[in-house]
Structure 1
Amino acid sequence: MAAGTERPRAPAPPRWLRWLPFGYLAVVLAIEPVTPVDWPVSFLLIALPLAAAYAYGPVAVAAFTVCAIVFEGVLAGTPCCAGRPVGYLWDRHYVANYMCTTLVGILGTILAVHRIRRERTLATVRSVAETAQRVLLRPVPRRLGQVSVETLYLSAAAEARIGGDLYEAVPTAYGVRLLVGDVRGKGLVAVETAAAVLGAFREAAHDEPDLAGVAHRMERSMSRHAAQLPGGEAAERFVTAVFAEIPDDDPVVRIVNCGHPPPVLIHAGRVTELHATSPSPPINLALLAGNGYQVDVRSFRPGDQLLLYTDGVTETRDPDGAFYPLAERVGPWAGLPPRELLDQLHEDLLDYSGGRLDDDIAALAAYRLPDEAGT
């Protein structure tokens, strides 16, 4: 690790887990005096070091081990406790109990060391993933000319926090150009492909005067990238995507849909799914599915809002297995600005799925500002 770089901290254990060994000790001490002499409940203190190992470090686990042995000795050596006529401090069963507690304490200390190392490793992995996400999905400016843009990214894997879903918004001489895409596959392979796609789009968006030309450029770039992959991976590496272009001087939006879920247009309180008149093939499948990219032109006036998203949204299921009805759910939020719209979508997806998302989600909301706000 580079000098001056702070090492990521391991996440703190839940509060109830930190109180667990204290509660366990209190319960054992409470029931020991009221149990018959034939039931030496103090033997349960053997497990105290393990209870501590789930939330504390090795030094604290060693301290809990010593505490457990001391209490075992106190309870064994106290005459007339629970009707005992004499103490059992050095009875062979209790001596064996001390030895077992010591052994479990050593194991608990080792467990605590291992747990802390794993937690620090996980914290480092999360930190690297978050950094990679910030580089890959860099923050999009909230204001691009006469367009207000907001984004949302949710990873189904909390440990990774990054996946193959992607978005981008680029101001160009031809207007604001938007991209939302979904790479086939998961893990680092999908992240690598997403990086290649975003890099190609950021270049092509400025160079190509036509939106279909951007898609063609992406196809060529993706084909070169896939050709470097071993074996049959090239044919399996493709990206569904939707490109949108919002010109500054024309109240329209141009869309190229490459095998992706249809964008949603919010106009005057009405929600419309913009299905492609002639769907275009996913990126890197043009040779198999046809080589044409169809540009659809839709009205997009001041006050209108466009929602682009990945299939993780519409494939979210409720406990009964029903898919998320996006157009129906978005209707009541038609008047919300982009940030509030995406925040509401986020909360509603979690509520609909019972708090469990099975796929990564990326969404982008673009709102054409009224003329007076734009000037």
Structure 2
Amino acid sequence: MSSVPSSASLAILARLLSFDTTSRESNLALIDWVVDYLAGHGVAAKLTHSDDGSKANLYAAIGDASLPAIILSGHTDVVPVDGQVWQFPTFALTQADGKVYGRGSADMKGFIACVLAQVPQWVALAQSQCWHRSLGIALSYDEEVGCLGVGRLIADLQARQVPVAGCIIGEPTGMRPVIAHKGIAHYRCRVQGRAAHSSLTPQGVNAIEYAARLITHIRKLADTEASFGNRHPLYDVPFTTLQTGLITGGNAANIVPKSCEFVFEVRWLPGDQHERFVSSVRDYAVNLLQEMREVAPEADISFEQLVNCPPFQSEDGGEIREHVAVLCGCQGGDAVAYTTEAGRFHEAGIACVVCGPGSIVQAHRPDEFVELSQLAACEAWLAALQARVIAAV
């Protein structure tokens, strides 16, 4: 097997990296480019848009669309580069030391480029051979901010009754299968107290201090889970975790702060229910609020769910698991603490495995890169997949 990917994959990856598809930006320039690329090979694409029309998912089928599809899925958005110091250009391809640098090279435009580079060959094979599966290409938006876009793509597939044999999500796994991951939920908590001059603190209700008590409660839940919670030995972090990631509040050091808000997350194992932790935080907030309202009847504590991505655990056996086991040369697979769109597909009853080029360690970091050898391995893997499940046997 070659340790260098095809020039087609590298050329496509260079084009994909040139689009700034940070989640706060539109991905339509990239999607339009892919639509034109596919159309140039006679493949039509179906788009599903966000509410404001600024973003889109893409789905395209190669082969007989009435046959169950093996879907190759990737997200087009990337995380910001703000505040990061890069040696290499952020939204461009730089090749050096056996690596390709650029935001999204590992997570996960490298996989998308490898898939798109196979399209001409797949189209030619579909015209000359009798397949027993079709091949689907799925690109989504807003994965990095909570797997928000792919739900519309899945709903469209279901509404059109597109038959699906299974889905391979090409997140960076070193081309090893990931068969399970945690769910993730984010909640914003807003604490409203009463402002006062700091010399008259008893007349105020300090929103930051009450928020701190809630955060301490969240930390106690996390510590309890780490010490006594359920364990799953397959995971790198084998228990449910909680943490507070953002906080803001107050106006000046000599003012009792009227407001404070923070965002906390739960990452839970398949089979668990993250709502039990959130309920504990809500119950504790009720007790705090009674105390706050003894001084300030207008005080309030509210919660808003921002993200809720379900966990994923692949069922033993099944077509997708069998294909991936043979292609990766291993039985079973890994479980990880990070979250992917596999949770959304799995929730919709679609069998999934996560497998793609690169390392999650490189994702979201300055000078993000994917090794050339990993892209070459992905190309060979896709060719083997085509030979195994698409061509008639």
TM class, shorter-chain normalised?
under 0.3
Which one has a bigger Cα radius of gyration?
A: 1
Q: Scaled by the length of structure 1, what TM-score is found? A: 0.24
Higher relative CO (CA 8 A, sep ≥ 6), structure 1 or 2?
A: 2
TM-score (norm 2): 0.23
Structure with the bigger percentage of strand: 2
More helix by share: 1
